Chain A
Amino acid sequence: MASVVTMLEHKSASADLAAGDRSNLGRLAIVVLSVLLLIMMAVSMTTGASGASAWTIVAGWFGAVPDHAEQALRDHAVIYNIRLPRMLLGVLVGAALAVSGLLMQGLFRNPLADPGLVGVSAGAGLGAVSIIVLGTTMLAPVTALLGIYTLQIASFAGGLITTFLLYRVATRSGQTAIATMLLAGIAIAALAGAVTGVLVYVATDSQLRDLTFWSLGSLSGANWTKMAASGPIIIASLIAAGFLANGLNALTLGEATAAHLGVPVQRFKLLTIVAVAGATGASVAVSGGIGFVGIVVPHLLRLIIGPNHRYLLPATALLGASFLLMADAISRLIVAPAELPIGIITAAFGGPFFLWILLRKRAAFAW
């Protein structure tokens, strides 16, 4: 009896699919990607330069007595103070970067928009560099006022300003020209890069060390302080993004039609831009410029479950987190005990992927 019910359900699910309703596929993807994320989280906790084993800790919870107490204490420190914040930050940053890409693609009605490609990350980076270099002199009052959140809020502001600027330049009466958007992004990134360059030029030696460390794009500096500063901003942005799914679907029909469908378009766009700037800014502040996550992840998922943002949004957050944890694990293992900056890994995946998108869509874009 039960198997008949399962069969019927299965049949109705595939009938839905044939009728163009991919919501069951979307739900299935979310379940599968949740499991994948749990696996990647476990992998992240159990791999690293030190031989520390997360399993001894888990065994400890269940009352197993470790063989070497001293070793167990050191493992405990490695797991709780280094790997756990790094893993959690990886989850949040991965989700934030992927969702930022998805939101921008929806906002610009354009599958090539991504915070890294169109200058938003560069703007956020400029905000961060300003604080690193000028935080103790010119911007000291700001640092005093904002405390541990200074770097994050400066990145957020930088991201916000560049997103607004880009939107104003590249969008006319609700239509974004692809070429204008990408070229405006290059111009904005160049401008942000020039100002960043000036700041780097005037930086002191110790500031330069901070800058280099930060600009490589890495999760290696992860600790609980950074987690406390960036975590809430990223989580708030992701929660806000969750409310945008229906509006993003409607917006694909154009701004006028979205309004006719009942979306308060101006407020919706503002919320989207703030969510992008929040997620990108807080990520860039803590991990530097990690590129391509926002373009690879949503694009791949659109091919599998379709562009319905109700399922695409959570799936993108989940796969983005897994993707970054995987890249982080590779970056730690490939040249162990040293580490490659994670940005190199994501670019090595993302660059060819981006070219593949362009080749596939060359006819459609026609420019």
Chain B
Amino acid sequence: MIEVSELSVSLSNRRILHDVSFSAAAGAITAVIGPNGSGKSTLMKAICRDNAYTGSVSINGRDLTTMTPIEAAALRAVLPQSSSLPFPFTVYEVVAMGLTAGRSGVPLSMNKRLPEMALAAVDLAGFGGRYYGEISGGEQQRVQLARVLCQVWTPVLDGAPRYLFLDEPVSSLDVKHQLMIMDVAHRFADAGGGVIAILHDLNLAAMYADSIVALREGEVAGYGTPAQVLTDDIIAEVFDCRLSVGATPPPGMPFVLPQSAGRHSAPAHFTKVA
């Protein structure tokens, strides 16, 4: 269980997050949604201890500030939005960096094969020999996910659940791989681990998340199951635009459709030149 309580973050005297509280259970996917600038990435940085914060964050009952980097690395792995490398590493070498903390959870003799298994899990089997800088952005994002999976390969280690923190894990992926990556997260949670994912696609959140935290201007505007959070009122307030929430045929999963205000109703920002 990850518990975030009364978390506040201010950067250069500007309040970015205010009194954010929620918990992310092991065995579940917790999605964080919200418009640009609502504080999603700041929240991710705070729970990774990249930013100073007030309030408290605990992982499996232990306060984050009492952990050494190596202890934290054994409990959670973090997927950044993007990573560039200054040196020509191969894909295999990048994925193997996930083994830095040495707590993958598999026997040492298997460690050498682990990067290949992780690459297969993100549909990049056989990519190990390619140079990281020479593959596409979407492929790089999946390579980084494979690295993250290596770090916490067994979702439960010594009886303690471990966690994946994913910052927009599918932002540059095609639809097939979006579903595939979310399936990987889903299997990780099914096996007893926990996942916190920042998602822009509300329908992916509806489909995969067990609970959703909706942020608006640094505060929690909605928190609960997808059915509780993805309602017309909350979504319209959070995103400040017209969206329509429906329900799929049984099992009744919510879905969200954007509603255009119409081609002609927008004020004319552009001047037509005859």
Contacts and interface: CB of A to CB of B under 8 A. Distances in A.
Interface of A: 17-22, 109-111, 246-247, 249-250, 252-254, 256-257, 259-265, 302, 306-308
B88 A254 contact: no
Given A19-B129, A307-B89, 18 more contacts: A21-B112, A246-B100, A247-B100, A249-B100, A253-B85, A253-B94, A256-B45, A257-B83, A260-B72, A261-B73, A261-B98, A262-B70, A262-B72, A262-B101, A265-B69, A302-B88, A308-B89, A308-B93
A22 B90 contact: yes
Most chain A C-beta atoms within 10 Å of own C-beta, residue among B69, B76, B78, B127:
B69
20 contacts: A20-B90, A20-B127, A20-B130, A21-B92, A22-B90, A111-B87, A253-B83, A253-B97, A256-B48, A257-B80, A260-B48, A261-B73, A261-B101, A261-B151, A262-B69, A262-B100, A262-B103, A265-B69, A302-B88, A308-B89
Most chain B C-beta atoms within 10 Å of own C-beta, residue among A17, A250, A260, A265:
A260
Interface in B75-110: 76-78, 80, 83, 85-94, 96-98, 100-101, 103
Q: Which 4 A-B pairs have the closest CB atoms?
A: A20-B92, A262-B73, A262-B101, A20-B90
B137 interface: no
B225 to A, nearest CB: 29
B81 to A, nearest CB: 11
Contacts of B78: 257, 260
Nearest to A255: B50
A265 B112 CA distance: 26
Contacts of B96: 21
A254 B77 contact: no
A256 B97 CA distance: 14
Nearest to B102: A262
B97 A250 contact: yes
B68 interface: yes
B74 interface: yes
A263 B87 contact: no
Most chain A C-beta atoms within 10 Å of own C-beta, residue among B77, B78, B86, B129:
B86
- Using C-beta atoms within 8 Å of the partner chain, give the interface range for chain B: 35 or more
Interface string B115-152: 11000000000011110000000000000000000010
Given A18-B129, A19-B116, A256 B92 contact: no
Nearest to A254: B83
A91 B45 CA distance: 45
B128 A19 contact: yes
Contacts of A306: 88-90, 93
B27 to A, nearest CB: 22
A20 B72 contact: no
A110 B100 contact: no
Contact of B92 (A19, A249, A254, A262): A19
A260 B73 contact: yes
B69 A264 contact: yes
A20 B128 contact: yes
A267 B74 CA distance: 19
Contacts of B130: 20
A161 to B, nearest CB: 26
Contacts of B72: 260, 262
A3 B129 CA distance: 27
Contact of A254 (B45, B80, B90): B80
B128 A252 contact: no
B32 to A, nearest CB: 17
A257 B48 CA distance: 10
B68 A264 contact: yes
Contact of A307 (B49, B87, B101): B87
B93 A20 contact: yes
B239 to A, nearest CB: 28
A264 B49 CA distance: 12
